């Protein structure tokens, strides 16, 4: 095989590696094709007029989308690349005054993306700066002359109001405004900070004392209710006791009357002993002393129940003489 025929494929490969990129670059410059990246839009203009927008990622052929005018774009028009990725900004120390006249610094965080590349390019010379100014001015107008408590506590609601205020104008400029959040509300006056800190500490002490007192009141209420229920139950039990005892005594009386009499005697003696009355114990075979002592010479019972007990004991001792 001749040497020329052997190196011909190599030369062809080298020439292909060199010329193919040149051909692709030339066709791209002529606008025959373009590659749209993710989160990117390409705006084509011709003679000062917008031909169209390519915003879907991938290989695209402007000739198929815009027709023959797309071939004139590289010579008489322009292609704009617009980043449509989500962007986040934070505006620090936006000064506002509360209703009490306190100067305060506000931090605003917001996110946005370009939703209309054509409006973004041609409806505002500085859309980013205009959007930031719009967000800042809307925040200041929304928060100014508000009560300090509302400004500190209702930031979520205020953020939604700011977003609702800014969104219509931002859409005209080609933006889609995402979340807006008033991230920080700070006091700029050091003395004011100290005063507020002192008030907060006092308020915390008051709240703590109120909570403690409320807890003690609740405990006292629970205790009183418990004591009331216990006393109520005890009264019910005391009221039911006679009926229970009566039923028991009736049952004993039906079975054995002597046992009942013994029980009654025991109960009577217990009552007598519990009363603390003075009791005289006499021999069984001394009826004379009983007749003499019953007159009250030095051994008079101090309680009627004791006297009755004594009389009953005497009668029991006298036996046949009692009649």
- Where does the chain hold its CATH 3.30.479.30 domain(s)? 86-188
What's the pLDDT at 203?
92
CB 131 within 8 A of CB 173: yes
Is pTM beyond 0.85? Reply is: no
| CA distances for 43 relative to 48, 79, 135, 172, angstroms | 12, 6, 27, 17
Q: Please give the full DSSP string across 211-263, using - where no structure is assigned.
A: HHHHHHHHHHHHHHHHHHHHHHHHHHHHHHHHHHHHHHHHHHHHH-HHHHHHH
Instruction: Report the C-alpha gap between 171 and 263 in whole angstroms.
Output: 103
What does the pLDDT look like over 187-224, one tens digit per residue?
777 777 788 788 889 999 999 999 999 999 999 999 99
CA distance to 4, 7, 8, 10, per residue, from 1 (Å): 8, 10, 12, 15
Q: Cα(193)–Cα(186) distance, rounded to whole angstroms?
A: 9
Lowest model confidence (mean pLDDT) among 159-163, 182-186, 234-238: 182-186
| Per-residue model confidence (pLDDT) at position 229 | 94
Q: Which of 200, 66, 44, 62 is nearest to 122 (CA)?
A: 44
Residue 319, pLDDT score: 43
Percent of the chain with pLDDT over 70: 85
What is the token pair recorded at 28? 């791209």
CATH of 86-188, one of 3.30.479.30, 3.20.20.450, 2.40.240.20, 2.120.10.30: 3.30.479.30
What is the percentage of the chain residues whose pLDDT exceeds 90? Answer: 16
Give the residue among 305, 254, 318 at the shortest CA–CA distance from 279: 305
What pLDDT digit, counting tens, does each position of 54-64 carry? 988 889 898 88
Whole-number Å distance between alpha carbons of 201 and 47: 69
Convert the pLDDT of each residue in 275-285 to its tens digit.
887 777 766 66
Q: What tens digit of pLDDT does each residue of 136-148 get? A: 888 888 888 777 7
What is the rounded CA–CA span in Å between residue 15 and residue 25? 15
């Amino acid at each position: 095989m001749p040497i020329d025929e052997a190196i011909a494929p190599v030369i062809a490969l080298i020439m292909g590696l060199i010329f193919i990129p040149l051909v692709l670059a030339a066709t791209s410059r002529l606008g025959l094709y373009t590659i749209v990246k993710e989160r990117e839009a390409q705006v084509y203009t011709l003679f000062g007029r917008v031909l169209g927008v390519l915003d879907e990622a991938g290989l695209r052929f402007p000739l198929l989308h815009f027709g023959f005018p797309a071939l004139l774009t590289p010579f008489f028009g322009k292609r704009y690349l617009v980043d449509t990725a989500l962007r986040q900004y934070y505006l620090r120390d936006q000064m506002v005054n509360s209703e009490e006249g306190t100067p305060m610094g506000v931090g605003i965080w917001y996110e946005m993306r370009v939703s209309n590349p054509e409006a973004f390019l041609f409806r505002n010379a500085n859309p980013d700066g205009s959007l930031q100014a719009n967000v800042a001015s809307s925040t200041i107008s929304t928060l100014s002359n508000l009560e300090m408590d509302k400004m500190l506590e209702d930031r979520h609601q205020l953020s939604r109001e700011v977003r609702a205020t800014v969104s219509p104008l931002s859409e005209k400029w080609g933006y889609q405004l995402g979340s807006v959040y008033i991230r920080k509300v700070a006091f700029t006056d050091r003395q004011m900070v100290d005063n507020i800190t002192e008030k907060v500490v006092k308020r915390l002490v008051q709240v703590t004392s109120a909570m403690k007192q409320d807890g003690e009141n609740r405990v006292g209420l629970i205790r009183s209710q418990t004591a009331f229920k216990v006393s109520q139950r005890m009264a019910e039990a005391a009221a039911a006791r006679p009926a229970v005892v009566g039923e028991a005594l009736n049952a004993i009386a039906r079975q054995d009357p002597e046992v009942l009499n013994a029980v009654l005697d025991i109960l009577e003696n217990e009552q007598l002993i519990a009363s603390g009355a003075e009791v005289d114990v006499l021999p069984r075979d001394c009826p004379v002393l009983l007749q003499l002592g019953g007159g009250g010479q030095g051994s008079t019972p101090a309680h009627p129940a004791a006297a009755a007990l004594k009389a009953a004991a005497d009668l029991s001792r006298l036996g046949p003489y009692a009649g």
